[in-house]
Structure 1
Amino acid sequence: MSTNLEVGIVGLPNVGKSTLFNAITKAGAEAANYPFCTIEPNVGVVDVPDDRIYKLADMFKSKKVIPAAMRFVDIAGLVAGASKGEGLGNKFLSHIRQVDAIAQVVRCFDDPNITHVSGSIDPIRDIEIINTELCLADLDSVEKRKQRIEKIAKSGDKEARIELPILEKVIEGLGDAIPVRAQGLDDEELEILKELTLLTAKKSLYVANISEDEISDYSGNEHVKRVQEYAANEGSGVVVVSARIESEIAELSDEEATAFLEELGVTESGLDKLIKASYALLGLINFFTAGEMEARAWTIVDGTKAPQAAGKIHSDIEKGFIRAEIVAYDDLVTCGSQNAAKEKGLVRLEGKEYVMKDGDVTYFRFNV
């Protein structure tokens, strides 16, 4: 299975979160491709849009194609008071700790038939309700940690003395409802906090849910503008979607969906935009393996070295790594075949220090 990436979808009631999540679930990847994936009711697995894998499958006449995949987790029960166990608060917090990134759905459309939990449309207020709950949950974790570290620091422990002022700084920020990711902490400070798995340290993006009428042009939507400004201030991304249109697309075949999007005057679905934005947010790239049996895309963090990339396929390949035989996707396609690429000297042998690049078509040599 080439997914270990999870994005948690959060949002207040009646903002379109369930509509969007149901669309993701309907558009779900074929479960047969993911033998180790028990898909729970609140998890949707979708293929990552990447045409390169299909071109490689044609070239190698592969019997099976396995695209990279992303898991979306529907995190229910987030209401004001969730950090104190209101709604499904405690369950929600344990789910959110496990995801790699958070996508927060915010309502940016007016519809008198769909009441808002707070009685009016205000996406910034909604964002702040959720961020406050996450900050309160983190505050509880950091304060407990501080009590323990204070005792250790008193005994003269060097590491505890380094950690204590960082915890104090984070507590102050969380007390002002500033998420950890927006507190300007450096890499060393974030590394010290890592084992706390703080919710507000996770990378986030906002999903601005608009009405279907605005899908081809939402430039006049003031709610979206406010969300974009808010996100820019904390270094988060924004994806604009219409959850209702996504639920319609999910019912269509690929050909019908393409025609429907063309009719609407948009080039890609909101789900594809959300996946691409999540990739960018988490600094992810794909490499490929291809042969007669299967063509497969594998997801890694940009900067991963060849042996660790090999470990994505199997731990034995990482352990016994000798070298990687690599050709860039563009070079391979231009040459038309692996043999032609070899003749032109474009297939390289790379060692343990090689940093993988997006689109590397790879064969790992190993010995166990």
Structure 2
Amino acid sequence: MKLLEGRLFNVSNRLPVEIKFRAGHPRLNPAAGGLASALDSIWRHHHGVWIGWAGAVDAETAATLLQKAARGRSYGLKAISLSQQEVSKFYSGFANEIIWPLFHDMPSRCDFDPEYWEFYQRVNRKFAQSAMESATSKDLIWAHDYHLMLMGRYLREAGCTARVGFFLHIPFPAPDIFEKLPWRKSILRSLLQYHLLGFQTERDRYNFLSCLERIVPEASWAREESHNIVTMDNRRTRVATFPISISFEEFAGHAASRDVEALSTQLRRELTNNFIVLGVDRMDYTKGIPERLKAFRILLRRFPELRHKVTLLQVVVPSREEIPNYKELRREVELLVSQINGEFTEAGWVPIHYMHRNLTRKQLLAYYRTADIALVTSLKDGMNLVAKEFCAAQVDERGVVVI
């Protein structure tokens, strides 16, 4: 069902594909992360353009490869060109060394470098300009996540006549945490330049409104049915909760395929039919991976009768490897895996099977179907899609997810 009169302009930090160099030649690869899969179903009913960064490649090469990648899709792909310095200070810096830890209630991990803020503004302006080049008053510009909280402000300043919305995929912190951000008022006022603001949970929406009360007292808000209307400078912004999900039926259908079933059977046979506990996570300190490994070590120490019977299959997807905190986390995780395997491994049994790489959809589904239990141990999360994917993949209703 078509819901828009015009086109949808989907704007996110990254495109659903990225360009990487292999043997000196640029190649298209599916982008890692849950945003692309979460938004895939939206495009079945709309046409438009997806705007984002495609990787460190020149504009001409990006345009040629993205034109090829867009074949068979209902939308085009448009790349934002970012310098190495912009990627470092906007993405690695402001977005992931300030906003990401702060919004996950970990302010001690923040690096409030003022230069990061300058680049965050500059890059948000770039994204706004790119959307403005093609959008008309009939179109909808939909910005995604914590990378683009200022984009609405720059669209307004440029005289944008399209409707503009924003969805935050991660938690929004309570006022006591958010107030630690030096640029808190500018960000809140910029978010109010969007026509619609979407959050994952009621708690996130409540935290946002609480921050407005304390930091932007000139803004007023009222409850209207299932949403809030915030008024500031004679402008109204609708604030609502939209929990994100996956295409359950499609995911379950792929999981039931013969190829996935055959691979799952092979995996279980290779793991000697042990009881399988599965973890699938990005390499991120919010996911609780070291805590999970330590808990598994305690389990094996307290209940030695479980040795040879249970295996932890831990898949870790590489993420933000250029950021020091993430490099340290990988060292910690891999040291723990080595220590636990060194302590408990016996002939014919290794307690932890650890993989640090991206999986294909077929491989991921096979691991979901193989596992008896999926462990989701996030310390703080927006909406963890692994739990939903695991449930959808249980075509025989055998596996259990523990959150």
Q: TM-score, normalised by structure 1?
A: 0.27
- Which of structures 1 and 2 has the larger relative contact order (alpha carbons within 8 angstroms, sep 6+)? 1
